[in-house]
Amino acid sequence: MFVLTEKDSELSLPLSGRDPLGTQAVWQHRARDIVPDLVAASQHAEGFHILLIAHAWWPQIAEAMDVSRLTFRQFFLLIEQAFARASRVEDRDWVLPGSRRLGSGDKKLWFGLGKSSHLLDNQLTNGVYGLYRGPALRAGLIDADDRICDAQFWRKIIDETPVIRKLFKPIEALLAQIGDARRSDPIRNPVSRELTDILRRLPFRRQLREAFVTPSKAPITTSLAGLLIRRAALERNLNAFLSEAIDAMPAHADVLRNVIHCEQYIAPLDAIFQAICSADERNADRVAATLDIDVAELRTARTRFESSGNYRELALERAQALLALDLDSKRGLVRSLIEHHGKISKSRSNAPWIAFDEAGKLDCSLVGPRPAQRDLSPATAWLNSYYLYAFESLTRKVASERTIRA
């Protein structure tokens, strides 16, 4: 059953060219039933700590000095650099983005405003701010005006991280410099030790656990966390985990089945499309004949997908288009997948990976490896994460069986 509800702005964002059939919007939407706020890359508690610390201290630094030449986002990048370079000084692993550039730089604690100081190309988007701000917003830890939502929590962050005040003078000296290559002088210990100690202790575990692992708005998430804590690692086997969860969590069985039924339809479609692109043959009918797939099995999977829960906005549009694919024959499926991919590409103003040329032959501009046979069948295919790997990583960092409600 498909219904229209309120607009979901996250699912309206343009998707990358690595999603040739537009299935990302579908699985992401379904994933929100079980993991409400995380994204695939927001898996480290350290990232949320740096994000929260920068948000908490911005009003403090704005009160302490003239920051007319410093924006919050610039301040954020300086704080991120300080934590990263402190980790290098103290010989601790930097699990967040930017480790390659960090490891090739000098082993000193400093930060800068110019791009030559950044940990990454486009550090704001690709670093902690870009990966962790959205989840923190959705979970209600921060607001759109870059403030900590809970005043008591804001005060706790300030009290637990006094070392940040030791960065004020280097920041003030940095603002007095002129030019694009502005960077601070090396900041001496014990600042680096105190910064890395924060990421070692992770003092805000409880707040992260309550926001993402045991959220009051999603009891199913708490139950999944408890199951994860009691078992071995997921090991890239989400189908088995969700099947186990259905038996262990009967109250949530319908929601979990919806996730399985969603994946059992969209994952083999993506794999079949990949097989079409990887074929040496340019005749579409002969390509179809070589596909070792069972269209009757796909039709059964489509029926289950049709009742896999409500979708909305872009997810609804994509789901309806996938339901309309021709599953009467392998020939019909091949042609309708290519046509569907063309429509997806056009909606993104991209050239399609594969299309029919003037002679009716297949013209493929991007050829990848042929998928494994198991990926072509609804019974064994599984492609998408449903944010569960990020959820597992964060859960194991901030929770224990004792801290998760039954």
Confidence class for position 351, pLDDT limits 50, 70, 90: very high
Round to whole Å and give the CA distance between 114 and 9: 32
Confidence class for position 8, pLDDT limits 50, 70, 90: very low
Instruction: Give the residue from 172, 191, 108, 383 showing the smallest Cα distance to 273.
Output: 383
Instruction: Give the residue from 404, 30, 92 showing the smallest Cα distance to 224.
Output: 404
The full DSSP string for 19-39 is -TT--HHHHHHHHTTTS-S--
Phi (first) and psi of residue 333, to 5 degrees? -65, -45
DSSP code of residue 183 = B
For the chain, the structural domain boundaries read 9-36+255-376, 45-209
Region 236-241: mean pLDDT is 89
Amino acid making up residue 107: K
Round to whole Å and give the CA distance between 5 and 3: 6
CA distances from 216 to 141, 187, 398 (A): 14, 42, 16
Residue percentage of the chain with pLDDT more than 70: 95
pLDDT mean across residues, the chain? 92
Amino acid making up residue 286: R
Region 143-152: mean pLDDT is 96
Residue 405's pLDDT is 65
Phi (first) and psi of residue 324, to 5 degrees? -85, 0
- Residue 127 in tokens: 């670093």
Amino acid making up residue 138: R
Write the secondary structure of 237-257 as one string of H (helix), E (strand) and C (coil).
Answer: CHHHHHHHHHHHCHHHHHHHH
pTM greater than 0.85: yes
Residue 4's pLDDT is 35
